[in-house]
Amino acid sequence: MSFKILHVDHIGIAVKDLAGIKDVFTKIGMTPKPEDEVVEEQKVKVSFFPAGDCELEFLESTTEDGPIAKFIAGNNGRSGIQHVALCVDDIEAAIADMNEKGIAMIDKTPRYGAGGAKIAFLHPKATGGILVELCQH
């Protein structure tokens, strides 16, 4: 393996009402990062809530046909965990390693993600139905 998984970076949670979820998790005792972010390419608005070395990433679709809207529709209209992100030290090496091992990737090269991270998704068919994101900050 030519790369290292450093830690679980974040858990992506699809939500219908980002403002409402932010209110709930603030009341629980968590503090969101100061600014939400819109990632046009992914048709999402996101809010991160740090929790130690990991974060909760709440994702709200900005369009009716975006991947988060489709996920919620396929989840009987409910919010839910959409992906798990693993922080790696070298995303290009990680992608190459996945390809060498025959692990299907959605992304053949890194793309832009929230917080300026480079990201790439493994195909859920290769991971037992779990959407896994690799990210490098």
Tell me: the pLDDT tens digits for 31-61? 999 999 999 999 999 999 999 999 999 999 9
Distant-in-sequence contacts of 29-36, Cβ < 8 A, 24+ apart: 30/56
What is this structure's pTM?
0.94
What DSSP assignment string belongs to 38-62? Answer: EEGGGTEEEEEEEETTEEEEEEEES
CATH superfamily of the 5-136 domain: 2,3-Dihydroxybiphenyl 1,2-Dioxygenase, domain 1 (3.10.180.10)
Judge whether 95 and 134 are in contact, CB under 8 Å. yes
How confident is the model at residue 99, as a pLDDT? Answer: 96
Task: Show the low-confidence residues of the chain (pLDDT under 50).
Answer: none
Q: Looking at residue 1, what is its pLDDT?
A: 64
pLDDT at 73: 97
